[in-house]
């Protein structure tokens, strides 16, 4: 893939449109409770780019921020019309913005997944084998507080 190649995507209703340029900095499948709640399903697929390589072309986004048990700020951006979870910024991942892997236009999953994290809360019916790294939590996981029981991934 050419480093200047663009990939386009959008939300369910089509009002939010975006494009990314080049290869992602990081990719992963995350089974943490935050991603399960953010997506309403078993896991999230994150495709991270330098912020300058991810452009929101149209649509309105609503932001929701919270502090994780590791003390990081997790900011999620949703389409104000259909509610699709589109982008997120994690305070410990300086200069990067995540895009929802399933929001890309076909071919939707044009990227390789590098790692799988928070396997400790992975749904038993999910099997991810085509990535190099698998972690029970995350290499950056350093809890400072305890989450409520509905968020507890232990």
113-125 pLDDT, tens digit per residue, is 999 999 999 999 9
Predicted model pTM: 0.88
The domain total for the chain is: 1
Q: Is residue 141 part of a domain?
A: no
The reply to whether 153 falls in a domain is no
What confidence score (pLDDT) does residue 154 get?
A: 55
3-state secondary structure of 56: strand
CATH number at residue 43: 2.170.150.70
Task: Answer yes or no: is pLDDT of 146 > 80.
Answer: no
Peptide bond into 90 cis (omega under 30): no
Half-sphere exposure of 151 (CA within 13 A, CB side): 13
| Residue 144 resides in a domain | no
Residues 114 and 29: their CA atoms lie apart, in Å, by: 8
Domain containing 10: what range? Answer: 6-103+110-134
Which distant-in-sequence residues (6+ apart) come within 8 Å of 70 by Cβ? Answer: 92, 140, 141, 142, 143, 144
Percentage above 90 pLDDT, the chain: 77
Angstrom distance (rounded) from CA 146 to CA 61? 30
**Whose CA is closest to 100, among 88, 112, 92?**
88
In a domain, 145, yes or no: no
């Amino acid at each position: 893939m050419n480093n200047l190649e663009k990939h386009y995507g959008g939300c369910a209703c089509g009002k939010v449109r975006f494009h990314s340029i080049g290869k992602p900095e990081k990719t992963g499948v995350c089974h943490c409770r935050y991603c399960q709640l953010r997506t309403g399903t078993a896991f999230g697929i994150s495709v991270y780019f330098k912020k300058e390589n991810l452009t929101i072309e149209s649509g309105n986004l609503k932001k929701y921020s919270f502090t994780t048990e590791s003390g990081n700020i997790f900011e999620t951006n949703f389409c104000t019309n259909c509610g699709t979870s589109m982008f997120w910024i994690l305070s410990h991942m300086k200069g990067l913005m995540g895009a929802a892997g399933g929001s890309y236009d076909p071919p939707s999953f044009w990227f390789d997944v590098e790692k799988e994290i928070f396997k400790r809360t992975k749904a038993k019916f999910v099997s991810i084998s085509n990535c190099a790294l698998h972690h029970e939590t995350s290499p950056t996981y350093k809890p400072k507080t305890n989450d409520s029981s509905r968020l507890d991934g232990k």
